[in-house]
């Protein structure tokens, strides 16, 4: 991904700065100018990876969703964007007096990836998505390197030559983090760090970091922390021998003498035990939260309120669609995993039947299994739904991968048999030719735009057809003091006729098996009606 025609580091203009050696403090403008000049000189000789925008994010001018009428005030968005890198400033200090002008350390990153099969376009799409993940986490992507290999190198993931090439890029650009487009083994991570001399993390660590930033509810924070602990446990490492200290004295063979015997447990074993203890507490907390969720779900089941779950790839527009339909005011942002906690809102069909719409966490390719396990309680909403609205970003360059990724997770939570309605969102950004291709992928799909409102009525009509309909016909005489039963019929049943007589309301209606027992005392028997 490096531009071979770019000037080399030796051809770059050399910037000189006056170093203040006296006691008096340097001028503020001189300090900032020196830091900016240093950043420019480090980056000379390499092309930026961001010459192409991350395709997982919407870059088209008309793609910015502006439906504030449906989205509410979106105050949380300002909080999330409050901590962002100041462009051009380095995080490294050349002079201790510059500490006042140093920004919060948010990483400058270089991406690396290896693809063993498929086309280069598929590999680049994955790298663009990794760039979008890094940007969502608050980092700045400087460059990227993609390699074709039969198998990843078991030692350094990239191989000795490419690892050294990455080290040169990191040194030239002044990067402080390398992100690998896979889940690295602990040994690969350590070996690659030894070569590039900066921190190395993998795709899973970036996703977990985004989740930790965006989790707001108590349950969401517990789920994310549990996933982070599960990821961290096999990756504990120490500096030097500090994590392996145990017994001292003559028994330990160290020759340190008597009185230096250790506590009998190494530091790394102690940390592992603490992580296991914390994970047990988190699991216990999540079990304690379960009755509250089940009580709400049981209340909906008791009243036979059907549930519709909105699922899809991250940044496909699920929250925008929910806001357009229900004016829920859920956070909408052009970033990955903007929504983590499930949001439930009620809606009604054209014939007056009540149902709930649930916005769920988004999915992504190579979603860490730790997150699937930790968010299983949230994904229960998908497994218990009556209808699944599968939202796909129609403007994405690889909608097939989005469909396959989401359906894999749906299968993993046991929801594959639930009726599915595929919705291609962002139709205002799709050409007629693209629509033909997408129609070939999913002939029964619906095209919508949460931004313009196109196709929303079609989606609601399709959902109404897929929802379970009342099938049991009852002839009822309901007393006037039981108006609550009439309300239930309006919400979850279907009323055919209504007649007000002296003894009560004579109703002919269709109901579901769940609510039929509560109407049994008011059924008019055929002999009595005659």
Using the predicted structure, report yes or no on whether residue 87 has a pLDDT greater than 60: no
The pLDDT tens digits of the residues spanning 71-83 come to 665 666 666 555 5
| Average pLDDT value for residue range 508-519 | 84
Whole-number average pLDDT of the chain: 76
The whole-angstrom separation of Cα 43 and Cα 35 is: 13
Q: Contact 126/56 with Cβ under 8 angstroms?
A: no
pTM: 0.68
pLDDT band for 425, please (50, 70, 90 cuts).
very high
Q: Domain 103-214: give its CATH superfamily.
A: GTPase HflX, N-terminal domain (3.40.50.11060)
pLDDT at 2: 47
**399: which strand partners?**
none
pLDDT band for 245, please (50, 70, 90 cuts).
low
Using the predicted structure, report yes or no on whether residue 464 has a pLDDT greater than 70: yes
Using the predicted structure, report yes or no on whether residue 274 has a pLDDT greater than 80: yes
| Average pLDDT value for residue range 244-259 | 49
pLDDT band for 398, please (50, 70, 90 cuts).
confident
14-28, 111-125, 161-175, 216-230: lowest mean pLDDT where?
Answer: 14-28
Among 19-28, 143-152, 379-388, name the most confident range.
143-152
The whole-angstrom separation of Cα 202 and Cα 183 is: 5
The whole-angstrom separation of Cα 107 and Cα 220 is: 25
Closest C-alpha among 169, 195, 155, 192 to residue 110: 169
In the chain, the percentage of residues whose pLDDT exceeds 90 is 10
Q: Which residue has the higher pLDDT, 183 or 8?
A: 183
Q: Which residue has the higher pLDDT, 476 or 51?
A: 476
Q: Which residue has the higher pLDDT, 264 or 519?
A: 519
| Average pLDDT value for residue range 487-514 | 85
CATH dotted code for 304-466: 3.40.50.300
Element housing 284 (H / E):
helix 267-302
The pLDDT tens digits of the residues spanning 206-227 come to 888 888 887 777 887 888 888 8
Are 103-214 and 304-466 equal in CATH topology?
A: yes
The structural domains of the chain, with segments of one domain joined by +, span 103-214, 304-466, 472-518
pLDDT at 240: 44
């Amino acid at each position: 991904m490096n531009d071979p025609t770019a000037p080399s580091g030796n051809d770059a203009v050399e910037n000189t700065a006056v170093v203040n050696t006296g006691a008096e403090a340097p001028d503020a403008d001189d300090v900032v100018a020196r830091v900016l000049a240093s950043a420019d000189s480090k980056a000379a000789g390499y092309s930026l990876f961001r010459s192409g925008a991350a395709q997982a994010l919407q870059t088209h001018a008309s793609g910015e969703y502006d439906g504030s009428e449906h989205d509410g005030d979106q105050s949380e968005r300002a909080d999330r964007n409050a901590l962002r890198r100041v462009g051009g400033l380095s995080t490294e200090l050349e002079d201790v007096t510059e500490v006042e002008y140093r920004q919060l350390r948010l990483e400058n990153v270089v991406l690396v990836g290896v693809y063993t099969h498929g086309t280069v376009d598929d590999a680049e799409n994955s790298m663009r998505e990794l760039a979008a993940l890094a940007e969502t986490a608050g980092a700045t992507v400087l460059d990227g390197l993609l390699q074709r290999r039969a198998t990843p190198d078991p030692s350094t993931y990239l191989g000795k030559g490419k690892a050294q090439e990455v080290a040169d890029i990191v040194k030239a650009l002044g990067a402080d983090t390398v992100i690998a487009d896979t889940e690295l083994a602990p040994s690969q991570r350590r070996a690659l760090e030894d070569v590039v001399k900066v921190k190395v993390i993998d795709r899973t660590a970036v996703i977990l970091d985004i989740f930790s930033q965006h989790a707001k509810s108590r349950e969401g924070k517990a789920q994310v922390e549990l996933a982070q602990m599960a990821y961290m446990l096999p990756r504990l490492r120490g500096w030097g021998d500090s994590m392996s200290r145990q017994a001292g004295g003559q028994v330990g063979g160290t020759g340190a003498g008597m009185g230096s015997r250790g506590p009998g447990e190494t530091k790394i074993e102690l940390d592992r035990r603490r992580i296991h203890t914390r994970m047990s507490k988190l699991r216990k907390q999540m079990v304690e939260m379960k009755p509250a969720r089940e009580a709400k779900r049981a209340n909906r089941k008791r009243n036979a309120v059907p549930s519709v779950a909105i699922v899809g790839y991250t940044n496909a527009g699920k929250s925008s669609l929910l806001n357009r339909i229900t004016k829920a005011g859920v956070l909408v942002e052009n970033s990955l995993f903007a929504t983590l906690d499930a949001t439930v809102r009620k809606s009604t069909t054209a014939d007056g039947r009540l149902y709930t719409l649930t916005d769920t966490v988004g999915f992504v390719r190579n979603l860490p299994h730790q997150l699937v396990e930790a968010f299983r309680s949230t994904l229960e909403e998908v497994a218990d739904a009556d209808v699944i609205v599968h939202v796909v970003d129609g403007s994405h360059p690889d909608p097939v991968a989005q469909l396959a990724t989401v359906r894999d997770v749906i299968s993993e939570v046991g929801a594959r048999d639930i009726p599915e309605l595929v919705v291609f969102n962002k139709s205002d950004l799709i050409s007629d030719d693209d629509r033909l291709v997408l129609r070939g992928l999913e002939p029964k799909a619906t095209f919508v735009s949460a931004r313009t409102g196109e196709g929303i009525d079609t989606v609601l009509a399709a959902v109404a057809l897929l929802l379970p309909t009342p099938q049991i016909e009852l002839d009822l005489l309901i007393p006037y003091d039981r108006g609550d039963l009439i309300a239930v019929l309006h919400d979850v049943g279907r009323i055919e006729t209504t007649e007000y007589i002296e003894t009560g309301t004579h109703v002919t209606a269709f109901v579901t098996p769940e609510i039929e027992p509560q109407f049994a005392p008011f059924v008019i028997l055929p002999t009595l009606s005659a």
